[in-house]
Amino acid sequence: MAAGGVTKCLHPPCNCSVEIEERYCSEACASAIDQPLVPCPCGHPECVGAEDAVDRDELNDVPAT
């Protein structure tokens, strides 16, 4: 049975939380582990910031033609 704990993604600039067993939040972070000074490549809201996150409702707001 898994412990179910949560920790930070192991890629240094990443701000995502992951289950302890996972280690990384994405394949992008796992691939970039040897590049700790580059911006986080995962694209999750925790890393791109609220102002850059796309609102799901905005994607559905398509003007009528």
Is 26 within a domain?
A: yes
Query: Does 65 fall in a domain?
Result: no
Q: What is the pLDDT of residue 54?
A: 46
How would you write the pLDDT of the chain (65 residues) with one tens digit per residue? Answer: 445 699 999 999 999 999 989 999 999 999 998 888 888 999 999 888 755 554 444 444 545 44
Q: Is residue 1 part of a domain?
A: no
Instruction: Confirm whether 13 is domain-assigned.
Output: yes
What integer pLDDT is reported at residue 50 of this predicted model? 59
Which candidate, 54, 52, 47, 48, places its Cα nearest to that of 11?
Answer: 47
Q: Write out the residue range of the structural domain in which residue 40 sits.
A: 6-60
| 0.75 surpassed by pTM | no
- Give me the number of domains the chain comprises: 1
What pLDDT does residue 56 have? Answer: 42
Residue 54 inside a domain? The answer is yes
User: 31 Cβ partners below 8 Å, 6+ apart?
Assistant: 41
Share the mean pLDDT of the chain. Answer: 78
